[in-house]
Chains A and B, each alone.
Chain A
Amino acid sequence: MAIVANKISKAIGKPPVRILSDINLKINDGEFVALTGRSGSGKSTLLYILSSLDSPSEGCVEIGGHEIGKMTNEELYQFRNEKMGFVFQFHYLISELTTIENVLLPAVKTGRQSERKAYAESLLSQFGLGDKLHRLPRQLSGGEQQRLAIARALVMQPRYLFADEPTGSLDSANGDIVMNIIRDANKNFGTTVIMVTHDPDFAATANRAINLVDGRIVDAT
């Protein structure tokens, strides 16, 4: 059930600018992988290609034995909903919904919100938001908002968690809290985590760090 990238390349614009070149990668189930590199090295692009949000110009990606390019739209939507969770640098919370409503949003798609509600509440309690279930995102601090975004990503108990610089907009204290949550998800639930980060300390806590330079993997430790 691993994530496998076969000879992935990505070029955008006219004339085409190559962002990723010939990426071959395998991420095993339950692994915690950090994608590192300088700005413009292609790490976010690789993350989005691996997570099906973007498509490669060449090559293919397999997740859990399914080749993404060959999945129908409906299969892909269902796969994202049930098996994937996303955390972005910016929390992307829906400002009109309360904490608990934001967390349950993935479950709303399939009408499973009542089924997931107890789990959502336990996640929020675990993340220190148990007493703020009915607050709007603007009534939460930046760290709380990011924790809420992680709770939303984990509410469906996904097999894969994709995080794009989840601590990028947080101070170091909140950054540590968020990283602990992500590590716990990987450790306790066996969630495969692929995380883009600039921070070498956070990258060091991952099982494996993949360093990209100019769209190529130069180092995988």
Chain B
Amino acid sequence: MISLAIRYLLAKRRQTILMLLGIFFGAASYVTISGFMLGFRGYLVDQLVNNSPHIHIEAREEFLTDTSLNEAFYGDHYSHIFWTPPPSGRKDNAIVEKPQAWYARLRADPRVFAFSPQLSASVIFSNGKATAPTSLIGCDPLQQEKVTTIGSLVVEGKFSDIAAGGNRVVIGRELQKRLGVRVSQNTLVSLGRGLPSPFKVVGIFETGNKMTDNMAYGSLADVQKVNNSPNHVNEIAVRLFDHTQAAALATTWSAFGPEKVQSWDQINANIFDVFRIQDSIRFLSIGAIMIVAGFGIYNVLNMMVIQKRRDIAILRSMGYSTREIISLFFTQGFLLGVVGVTLGLSCGYGICLYLRTLPFKGNAMISDGHMIVSTAPEIYLQAGLLALATSCLASVLPARAAGKLTPIEIIRAGTE
């Protein structure tokens, strides 16, 4: 029956090509759009997983409520206390309360690859008349390099140079541009109150993210000194051996203290929401193409069943079974699916390869100056299955209709 199905398709070349085009475009556009979207997404997730800590243990920002100050001022002497106006605002001492306990716990945990205590201070850098408010992050550079990829992003100098102490900083490319400083020059760092402290620029880093490239890194001790907060840390950055365990571990660790413990994916939950919206749009648009393609196949096969009623009658009179008649028409849809999918996937793959060669100037979406387009096998598998399922589903109804025809009703209709 396959050869007869092929003959039927070849006899109606124009219709066959139109049906093929539907499946072809569906498969090709799925592969191309998914390749583009998932390539970008993969790059973004890769950046999040590799460049940033997997878990952040941060001092919790506490906000005052109507009852926050009751105990401090009145103990338990009164049952009803009313404030006019009620207390509001944020508690100022945002630090990790028992860092040593966290260090001991993290050292003992076999799932932890490395951790780096940090103190972030909001400071103002100045060089002559150029000033730039930014964050200065104090850290142990050797630990920080294990936790993030900052060491490999230093384009001038070395990140570990800040380990020597003595007020040294590695600053981001954007900050360097704003201040107009070069490596080995001094810049002043102040908290906005008190005298500024001189810091020597020992390195420049460039991540490609303008916000990050506006920050600066110094040794933990130096930043604690500038911030007037000796021994304080307000974040512990943790890197795990397996980043997929981050969310579960962060949830477990949240119970250990008042600190806010969040995994990389929890912090970037809004990005993953955007991914989900992207997926919905992707599936809806491809779905629309597939529905149109499916209806095309359905209509043409339906017409073919009507046109081939006499063939069905004679085949049935020769002893061909209902199942064989169904298979005759279903095979046509299936063949269209197979050929359309093969051509569509090949063309989609070609487009993806071509897109990869296009130069693209934009930091967030480039790799070696070119667009990132995924050619992951699962995209091709999904596209193939979707397109094949569409063509098969579209063929089922006409094929069943053909199977239900009895020779006698066709012959009677033919002689009427």
Contacts and interface: CB of A to CB of B under 8 A. Distances in A.
Nearest to B409: A54
Nearest to A97: B7
B8 A96 contact: yes
B108 interface: no
A100 to B, nearest CB: 13
A135 B321 CA distance: 28
Contacts of B8: 96
B75 interface: no
A81 interface: yes
A86 to B, nearest CB: 4
B411 interface: yes
Given A53-B317, A81-B319, A106-B319, A96 B408 contact: no
A73 B325 CA distance: 14
B7 A48 contact: no
Given A89-B415, A90-B414, A79 B319 contact: yes
B310 to A, nearest CB: 5
Given A94-B314, A97-B4, A88 B411 contact: yes
Contacts of B411: 48, 53, 88, 164
B11 A95 contact: yes
A105 B324 CA distance: 13
Contact of A54 (B11, B408, B414): B408
Contacts, number: 61
Q: Is the interface of B mostly helix, strand, loop or mixed?
A: helix
Contacts of A53: 316-317, 406-408, 411
A95 B411 CA distance: 17
Contacts of A82: 319
B311 A106 contact: no
A90 B412 CA distance: 12
Interface in B379-395: none
A77 interface: yes
Nearest to B7: A96
B402 to A, nearest CB: 14
A74 interface: yes
Interface string B322-336: 101000000000000
B354 interface: no
Interface string B287-326: 0000000000000000000000011011111111110100
A94 B4 contact: yes
A165 to B, nearest CB: 9
A137 B350 CA distance: 43
A43 B312 CA distance: 23
Given A48-B411, A53-B408, A88-B411, A94 B311 contact: yes
Contacts of A164: 411
A114 interface: no
A113 B316 CA distance: 18
Nearest to A73: B321
Residue of B316, B324, B411, B415 ringed by the most chain A CB atoms within 10 A: B411
Residue of A73, A106, A164 ringed by the most chain B CB atoms within 10 A: A106
A132 interface: no
Contacts of B315: 105
Contact of A80 (B11, B313, B318, B414): B318
A91 B287 CA distance: 44
Given A80-B318, A86-B317, A92-B313, 4 more contacts: A84-B319, A96-B4, A96-B10, A109-B324
Interface of A: 44, 48, 51, 53-54, 73-74, 77-82, 84, 86, 88-90, 92-97, 105-106, 109, 164
Interface of B: 4, 7-8, 10-11, 310-311, 313-322, 324, 406-408, 411, 414-415
The 8 closest A-B pairs by CB, nearest first: A81-B319, A80-B319, A96-B7, A92-B314, A54-B408, A86-B317, A106-B318, A77-B319
16 contacts: A44-B415, A51-B317, A53-B316, A53-B411, A54-B408, A74-B321, A77-B319, A77-B320, A78-B319, A81-B319, A86-B317, A86-B318, A90-B310, A92-B314, A94-B314, A96-B11
